[in-house]
Amino acid sequence: MLLAAGCGPGELSSGRFVRLGAPAGAASVVSDLLSHDGRLYGVASTDPLGGGRAVAFATDDGSSFESLLPADGSQGLLRIRALGDRLWVPDADPPGREAGRVFEIGADGAIQAGRIPGALHTYDVALHGGEILASSGMRGARGALHRFVTSGSDWEEAASAAASRLKGLVVYREMLLAGKRREGVPHDYLRWREAPARGAGEAVDAVPGEAVTIRWYASSRGRLFWSLHSEGRFQLHASDDGERWAELPGFRGVFVSDLAERDGVLYVLGDSGLFGSRDHQRFVHLAAPPRPDTFAPPVALPGRANADGSASLAVHRGALYAGSSADGHLYRVDGP
């Protein structure tokens, strides 16, 4: 499957997915993977924000797993980030109606849980303008950014937004972009041009319809990629300035879960398998999924995909690893 002219089949080799283990206690969705300090870390949820269990884990090879956080009833750990020498895991759905929280894991494994008073859901963290910021959905149906103060303390509100929930974050060319919940409004995401982010974010209407953001990714070639769902279909867009977007036509209707780079090659994980590109513009299909649903969007309700339940992709010790959105397993990509 050649997605664009100019990428000869000899440039990138094909590969295959090899099924590995499943994190202990995790069910279907491995929504984020991260290689850090020689280990592969990740988060997984039974039904993101819908019920069941959520876990954070570490592994050396994808066959045995170490649990990082206590199993205390969270229903949604969606992202794990490395900022400085620490790992950060925002809790997207704490037990009951407890305050929002972000787990901070030190290099020695020590865990601190910082509170976000008034938050029902906390989705992501990012470093912007020298501050660690978390995106949340607050009581009263408003979105907000909170800034990290000190370990184990309450986070302070830094910015508000014209949205009921702020979700996935990305920093690109000193701008902070935040996805949001679908709300029946024209705008697709929020943007802060100043660093660090303060005040109300700028509502951006970037594509026809109202977009739901699945994943952001800023590549080493200075391109920003945006996986989204709008007007009834999945799409992948790219921008070279964070202002103007162009849809990648070869990915129309493809549910793109995540992106990762190795040796300058950009890899894209979609429901139809793995794609690769040397120039971050023209892609070829490299590997079919093990099963049609291995990296497909999870369905939370009949006919309705769970926007928080995406598969994941990372490079670890020179190999590509993927986390399923259907069977809770990790996969190593052999070949490309």
CATH of the domain at 279: 2.130.10.10
pLDDT of 186 reads 92
The verdict on residue 189 lying in a domain is yes
Domain of 59, in residue numbers: 16-334
The set of residues, in sequence order, having a beta carbon less than 8 Å from that of 173 and lying 6+ positions away, is: 241, 242
pLDDT of 112 reads 94
In this prediction the pTM is 0.94
Residue entry with tokens 């129309």: 252
Cα–Cα dist 336/5, whole Å: 20
Bridge pairing between strands 156-161 and 199-200: parallel
Please name which of 1, 8, 4, 79 lies closest in space to residue 246, comparing C-alpha atoms: 4
The verdict on residue 191 lying in a domain is yes
The verdict on residue 6 lying in a domain is no
Give the sign of the dihedral formed by CA 137, CA 329, CA 232, CA 168: positive
The verdict on residue 328 lying in a domain is yes
pLDDT of 51 reads 81
CA distances from 135 to 144, 213, 322 (A): 6, 14, 25
The verdict on residue 4 lying in a domain is no
The verdict on residue 164 lying in a domain is yes
The tokens for 149 are 């103060």
Cα–Cα dist 256/115, whole Å: 32
Contact 24, 67 (CB under 8 A): yes
The domain tally of the chain equals 1
The verdict on residue 255 lying in a domain is yes
The verdict on residue 187 lying in a domain is yes
Residues of the chain falling short of pLDDT 70: 1-10, 25-27
